[in-house]
Amino acid sequence: MHKPEKGWDPVPSAYAKKYAEVNYASLSHALIADVVAFTGDLNGQHVLDLGAGPGQYSIEFSKLGAVVTWHDISRNYLNIAKEKSAEQNVVIAHYKLDYMDNASGQYDLIFNRVCWFYCISDRRFAETLLGCLRENGKMYLVVHNEDFRGSDYNDIPTLTKWRSQFFAAVNNYTGIKIGHPHMSKARIEKLFRGLKAKSVEISHDLEGSTTIKICK
Ligand SMILES: C[S@@+](CC[C@H](N)C(=O)[O-])C[C@H]1O[C@@H](n2cnc3c(N)ncnc32)[C@H](O)[C@@H]1O
């Protein structure tokens, strides 16, 4: 494994800046409202924003009084999250530069938006996250499924599309991950409904995103 603490960063600075610009501008207040409707008041709650990127949701949860841990592999995003929170006069309580798979601690809420596919093993990761939740803790996940088409979909060469469809099929039928395949809706249902949790709610939208709400 590459070591982020030794300076390795998979996200180039220019890409991180562009992603931050677009994603701060398109921050979803409806998503935040939905998280709060699911969890209740976030004031004083311990929240893990896992794969937090530039930290736009870490900042919003902190504004609501949550004690947020920003956790991501990228130092470029870490610097952006620090800059943006300082600009907005918001304190993100903790920063962890590490692989998502190494998530640890105990939280009231784990929030993970569009980065599930970077984990090493879906099942092991799901169980790790469940283990990081307090009793009655909640997980709010947004993942892309097989129907997702990025804005650059038409520019992707056909061979690359076939290759990623093949790896997605391998993941769907065997659970083995090669690269970062989007899980199929069927696999998502099987994986999350198989967890030992009080409740699991799954909804798929028309754009290829799935929202999963889990209560431990
Ligand atoms: C598409 S971005 C999503 C960022 C943020 N959650 C959001 O909603 O905008 C994916 C994030 O996953 C992070 N990431 C990729 N692989 C990772 C890993 N193995 N461990 C932790 N974070 C990772 C990237 O650095 C990036 O911040």
State the pLDDT at residue 74. Answer: 97
Closest-CA residue to 189 (of 167, 174, 172): 172
**Distance from the CA of 183 to the center of ligand 1, in angstroms?**
16
**Distance from the CA of 158 to the center of ligand 1, in angstroms?**
26
State the pLDDT at residue 103. Answer: 98
User: What's the rounded Cα separation, in Å, for the pair 47 and 57?
Assistant: 11
Q: Structure pTM?
A: 0.94
Testing ligand 1's pocket by substitution, the residue of 118, 140, 142, 211 carrying the most ligand atoms inside 8 A of its CB is 118
At residue 56, φ and ψ (nearest 5 deg) are -60, -35
CB 36 within 8 A of CB 96: no
Give the per-residue SS3 of 67-80.
EEEEEECCHHHHHH
State both tokens at 12: 């180039």
State both tokens at 172: 């769907």
Low-confidence stretches of the chain (pLDDT < 70) are none
**Distance from the CA of 199 to the center of ligand 1, in angstroms?**
26
State the pLDDT at residue 19. Answer: 97
State the pLDDT at residue 196. Answer: 94
* Neighbouring C-alpha atoms within 13 Å toward the C-beta of 63: 14
State the pLDDT at residue 174. Answer: 80
User: What's the rounded Cα separation, in Å, for the pair 162 and 204?
Assistant: 23
Query: For residue range 170-216, what is the model confidence (pLDDT) as tens digits?
Result: 787 787 878 788 899 999 999 999 999 999 999 999 999 999 999 99
